[in-house]
């Protein structure tokens, strides 16, 4: 940079002395406003270091005079939010079904709180909006295994199904095939009969002879829980076989496989995980998905009522199976 | 009032001359040049008065509008003009608009656009000269500058003078007043977005929202910078309108024009001298001295010229003094100047195809908007179909779809509406929470001037085929019979 500089006559600014093919570079100073903002930024940065957490140290970091912490602030905000919601949860927990029906504000709260809890905890199995999945009941429909009133739904959420909770909802579909209670032919016949009972007969067209043979087996093995008409029994959690809604799939093969394998799903108990208000909110949310039923007064929540325990199933199976 | 430097120009006894350089004149224009301060002299005359009047009216509209009250009933804002972002409403006297009705604003903007097209086609840059906020506030700022520091010559002298107590006092007074006006401008702006009296109190007690202070600060800064220090540079370098303007006008649009046919050859004129063989322009530079844009109108049409017409006033004053007819500078066209040069009669064409077209379009848009406003529906319905689950199979073999209905009631009273579905055989409403009556309808209350959310379910019998079926929701005001409809769909799945 030893080149001689000169003054440009148009702008009155010095050149840097660099020249390319007659084009000279002006040594225009930084615009003042830019320079001042630059200095101000440096000052602001130093002030920031002093006030706010800034520099990493060997153990931890400089906390700054203000001792600012986003983590603490968020925790405090969450706490404030929870505190502000607590009265509504308390109101919800103590509200009777009739109270809830009369109170649009409480309903709105229950719906919102329920939706949020459902999304975090239930949606994985039951699907968004209670859409269900094979093996996981649809909650949005009007088909209920254990009852669709607000109270029944709430009880199911509390105790779970085959959950290990002392009062858990319990039912046991035997595995007629795997446990050799029925022969493959018998299972085929009973499947045809079940189809003939259900609304699926219009699309699956059961074999009449096979179904007639299956009728006898059905009466011996299945009617205890599913009832002679196939209407099911909610007190024992036995699904209705007359509709066209199938927990493990509605094709002929899927129905047959359920008779063969008798799969029994598990729903955890949520009593220890949620407070009463949240459970009530969840129940309300599920109830209003569309299939919720009116409350039957004083319908006592079913306690552990295994219909067919393992022994019975095997015994009766032994009678039939050669 | 105005001090005119008496100078001896080439030995003449011309008393009207002034040493005034058009700092932005065509001749002075270079690729690289620093801005030179302009010290516009006060003009007197018809257009100056017109501009004072326009300034008073426009500033009054701007500052007073938020304070006008308009009774809308209990619990409703009583501010005549209010843009309520939080409540999502726009209030304009008897009109109340919702966000989705933004097309009224669009209509207003279209109307304004045609308005400015028309005014440009007729009178060139009248907007720039009289109504543009940049012009109005700059005019106000120059008025204050002149009041404190004196007219052109005194200001120029003050600028050159070394710093003295008097100079400091004047500068401080000027900038303080400017800042106060700037703050009032920013302050008035925020009043359009909240209840003015409340906001006024909050601002001064320090209780207003930080965003309020931010906007007041921002507009204070821009007003002060644009009207106080940047002035003509905004028009010349920042504003797109002078560029667009060229497409809006044609050779027949009136603009402030120096009638060269009459003025040339220019030159100083001694009292009593003959006017034979010379032009009327005595080259006194008064038109340059008053120009806020720092140009010489005698150079012809220029991008910098905002058509403020102050040079017309300045020149008319001179013409009167020297005993020549007024209007050496006037609203005219170059076509006319050329015609007169050729000895042809000049004519002003205000009625042209484009001005007629703009006028017709304005009437049309205005009529459409008035009609739309007069027949505006106050009931609306939005339907959102639940996508998860897409459909629900019922125990009886039928299908069910779920919908979230938004009942939009723009009237300031609770209205009862009947919800019905149509368009799909056998489809019927079911609802847990609301009573479905014998006709298959649900009656619910809307909110007063608000949106009510209602969840309903629609069930269709088992024979509805798989796929999507069009369907409509209708809400009917049980009292007035006013209806709103929304198309939706019913989706049914295949067999399990
Ligand atoms: S030339 Fe005349 S009309 Fe144009 S800006 Fe200057 S004073 Fe105004
Ligand atoms: S146009 Fe008028 S004001 Fe301008 S220099 Fe000529 S006489 Fe003076």
CATH architecture of A77-169+267-295: Orthogonal Bundle (1.10)
Residues B126 and B159 reside in one and the same domain:
yes
How many percent of chain B have pLDDT more than 90? 55
Q: Are residues B231 and B244 in the same domain?
A: yes
CB contact under 8 A, A245 and B496: yes
On the question of pLDDT at B30 being above 70, the answer is no
Question: Given this model, what pLDDT does residue A315 score?
Answer: 37
Q: Give the pLDDT score at B246.
A: 76
Ligand 1 site-directed mutation target among B38, B258, B298, B311, most atoms within 8 Å of CB: B311
Q: Which of B55, B165, A23 is nearest to A15 (CA)?
A: A23
- Can you tell me whether residue B444 is helix, strand or coil? strand
Predicted local confidence at residue A103, as pLDDT: 87
Q: How many residues does chain A have?
A: 322
pLDDT digits (tens, 9 = 90+) for B57-100: 999 999 999 999 998 887 888 899 999 988 888 999 888 888 88
Burial A229-268 (b: 16+ CB within 10 A, else e): ebebbbebbbbbbbbbbbbbebebeebbbbbbbbeeeebb
Query: How many angstroms away from the CA of A221 is the closest CA of chain B?
Result: 24
The rounded distance, in Å, linking the Cα atoms of B134 and B232 is 9
Order the strands of the B416-422 sheet from edge to edge. B442-445, B416-422, B467-477, B483-492
- Nearest Cα residue to B80 out of B450, B58, B72, B88: B72
pLDDT (0 to 100) of residue A318: 35
**Domain CATH code at residue B399:** 2.60.40.10
Cα dist from B395 to A140, A233, B398, B462, whole Å: 12, 15, 7, 10
Residue nearest to atom 5 of ligand 1 (CA): B305
pLDDT digits (tens, 9 = 90+) for B383-397: 999 888 899 998 888
Query: Do residues B352 and B397 both lie within one domain?
Result: no
A250 touches chain B (CB under 8 A): yes
Q: How far apart are CA A126 and CA A111, in angstroms?
A: 17
At residue B105's C-alpha, the angle toward residues B99 and B108, to 5°, is 170
Q: Do B419 and B328 belong together in one domain?
A: no
Q: Is B404 contained in some domain? A: yes
A288 has a chain B CB within 8 A of its CB: yes
Angle, alpha carbons A304-A305-A308 (nearest 5°): 135
Looking at residue A296, what is its pLDDT? 63
Judge whether B17 lies within some domain.
no
Residues B218 and B320 in one domain: yes
Alpha carbons B101 and B490: distance in angstroms, whole number: 28
Return the minimum-mean-pLDDT range out of A12-16, B290-294, B454-458.
Answer: A12-16
Q: Mark whether B229 and B141 lie in a shared domain.
A: yes
Number of other residues whose CB lies within 10 A of the CB of residue B85: 11
CATH code: domain A184-261 is: 1.10.760.10
| Those residues with Cβ within 8 angstroms of residue B94's Cβ, 6 or more apart along the chain or in another chain | B70
Q: Determine the pLDDT at residue B406.
A: 93
Q: How far apart (Å, rounded) are the C-alpha atoms in residues A293 and A295?
A: 6
- Integer Cα distance of B136 and B232 in angstroms: 12
CA of A242 to nearest chain B CA: how many angstroms apart? Answer: 8
Task: Tell me the CB-side half-sphere exposure of residue B7, using CA atoms within 13 A.
Answer: 12
Last residue of a domain, one of B358, B376, B394: B376
Residue whose Cα lies nearest atom 4 of ligand 2: it is B287
The number of folded domains in chain B is 2
Give the whole-angstrom CA distance, residue A180 versus residue A178.
5
Domain-embedded: residue B158: yes
Alpha carbons within 13 angstroms on the beta-carbon side of residue A92 total 28
| pTM greater than the 0.90 cutoff | no
**Given this model, what pLDDT does residue B471 score?**
94
pLDDT per residue over A25-65, tens digit each? Answer: 888 888 888 999 999 999 999 999 999 999 999 999 999 99
Give CA separation, B120 vs A247, A284, B243, B327, in Å: 74, 65, 13, 21
Q: Write out pLDDT tens, residues A77-105.
A: 999 999 999 999 999 999 888 888 888 88
Same-domain check for residues B117 and B138: yes
B307 and B171 together in one domain: yes
Nearest to A127 among B388, B430, B462 (CB): B388
pLDDT at B263: 86
Domain housing B458? 379-492
Q: Is B295 in the pocket of ligand 1 (CB under 6 A)?
A: yes
**Residues 6+ positions from B443 with CB-CB distance below 8 Å:** B416, B417, B418, B419, B434, B435, B437, B478
């Amino acid at each position: 940079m030893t080149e001689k500089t000169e003054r440009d006559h148009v702008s009155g600014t010095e050149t840097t002395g660099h020249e390319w093919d007659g084009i000279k570079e002006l040594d225009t100073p930084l615009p003042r406003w830019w320079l001042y903002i630059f200095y101000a930024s440096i000052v602001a940065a130093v002030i920031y270091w002093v006030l706010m957490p800034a520099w990493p140290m060997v153990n931890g970091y400089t906390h700054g005079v203000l001792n600012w912490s986003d983590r603490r602030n968020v925790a405090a905000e969450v706490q404030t939010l929870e505190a502000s919601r607590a009265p509504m949860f308390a109101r919800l927990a103590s509200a009777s079904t009739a109270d809830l029906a009369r109170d649009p504000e409480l309903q709105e709260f229950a719906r919102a709180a329920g939706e949020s809890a459902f999304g975090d905890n239930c949606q994985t199995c039951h699907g968004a909006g209670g859409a269900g999945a094979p093996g996981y009941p649809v909650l949005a429909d009007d088909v209920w295994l254990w009852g669709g009133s607000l109270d029944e739904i709430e009880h199911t959420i509390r105790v779970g199904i085959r959950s290990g909770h002392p009062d858990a909802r319990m039912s046991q579909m035997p595995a007629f095939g795997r446990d050799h209670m029925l022969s493959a032919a018998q299972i085929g016949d009973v499947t045809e009969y079940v189809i003939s009972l259900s609304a699926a007969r219009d699309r699956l067209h059961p074999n009449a002879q096979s179904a007639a043979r299956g009728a006898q087996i059905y009466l011996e093995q299945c009617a205890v829980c599913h009832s002679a008409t196939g209407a099911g029994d909610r007190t024992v959690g036995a699904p209705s076989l007359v509709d066209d809604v199938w927990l493990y799939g509605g094709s002929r093969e899927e129905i047959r496989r359920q008779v063969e394998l008798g799969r029994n799903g598990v729903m955890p108990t949520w009593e220890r995980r949620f407070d009463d208000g949240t459970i009530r909110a969840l129940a309300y949310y599920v109830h209003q998905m569309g299939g919720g039923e009116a409350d039957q007064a004083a319908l006592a929540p079913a306690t552990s009522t295994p219909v067919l325990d393992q022994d019975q199933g095997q015994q009766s199976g032994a009678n039939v199976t050669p | 009032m105005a001090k005119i430097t008496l100078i001896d120009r080439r030995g003449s006894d011309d008393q009207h001359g002034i040493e005034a350089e058009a700092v932005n004149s065509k001749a002075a224009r270079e690729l690289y040049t620093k801005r030179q301060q302009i010290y516009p002299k006060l003009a007197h005359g018809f257009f100056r008065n017109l501009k004072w009047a326009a300034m008073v009216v426009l500033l009054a509209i701007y500052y007073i509008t938020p304070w006008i009250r308009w009774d809308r009933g209990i619990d409703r804002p009583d501010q005549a003009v209010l843009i309520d972002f939080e409540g999502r409403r726009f209030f304009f006297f008897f009109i109340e608009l919702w966000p989705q009705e933004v097309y009224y604003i669009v209509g207003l903007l279209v109307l304004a656009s045609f308005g400015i097209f028309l005014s440009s086609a007729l009178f060139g840059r009248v907007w720039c000269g009289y109504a543009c906020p940049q012009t109005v506030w700059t005019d106000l700022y120059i008025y204050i500058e002149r009041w404190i520091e004196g007219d052109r010559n005194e200001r120029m002298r003050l600028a050159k003078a070394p710093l003295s107590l008097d100079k400091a006092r004047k500068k401080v007074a000027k900038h303080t007043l400017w800042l106060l006006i700037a703050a009032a401008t920013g302050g008035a702006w925020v009043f359009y977005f909240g209840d003015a009296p409340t906001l006024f109190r909050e601002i001064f007690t320090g209780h207003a929202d930080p965003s309020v202070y931010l906007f007041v600060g921002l507009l204070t800064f821009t007003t002060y910078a644009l009207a106080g220090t940047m002035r003509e540079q905004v028009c010349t370098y920042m504003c797109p309108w002078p560029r667009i303007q060229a497409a809006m006008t044609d050779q027949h649009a009136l603009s402030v024009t120096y009638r060269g046919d009459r003025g040339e050859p220019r030159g100083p004129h001694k009292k009593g001298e003959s006017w034979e063989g010379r032009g009327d322009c005595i080259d006194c530079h008064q038109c340059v001295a008053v120009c806020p844009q720092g140009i010489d109108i005698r150079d012809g049409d220029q991008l910098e010229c905002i058509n403020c017409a102050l040079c017309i006033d300045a020149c008319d004053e001179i013409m009167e003094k020297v005993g020549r007819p007024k209007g050496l500078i006037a609203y005219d066209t170059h076509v006319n100047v050329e015609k007169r040069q050729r000895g042809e009669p000049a004519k002003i064409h205000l009625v042209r195809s484009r001005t007629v077209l703009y006028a017709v379009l304005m009437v049309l848009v205005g009529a459409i908007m008035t009609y739309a406003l007069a027949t505006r529906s106050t009931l609306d319905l939005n339907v959102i179909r639940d996508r998860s689950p897409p459909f629900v199979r019922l125990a009886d073999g039928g299908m069910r779809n779920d919908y979230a209905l938004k009942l939009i009631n723009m009237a300031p009273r609770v209205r009862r509406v009947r919800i019905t579905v149509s368009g799909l055989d056998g489809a019927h409403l079911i609802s847990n929470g609301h009573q479905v009556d014998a006709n298959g309808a649900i009656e619910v209350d809307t909110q007063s001037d608000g949106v009510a959310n209602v969840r309903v379910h629609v069930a269709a019998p088992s024979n509805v085929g798989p796929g999507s079926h069009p369907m409509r929701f209708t809400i009917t005001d049980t009292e007035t019979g006013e209806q709103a409809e929304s198309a939706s769909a019913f989706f049914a799945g295949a067999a399990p």
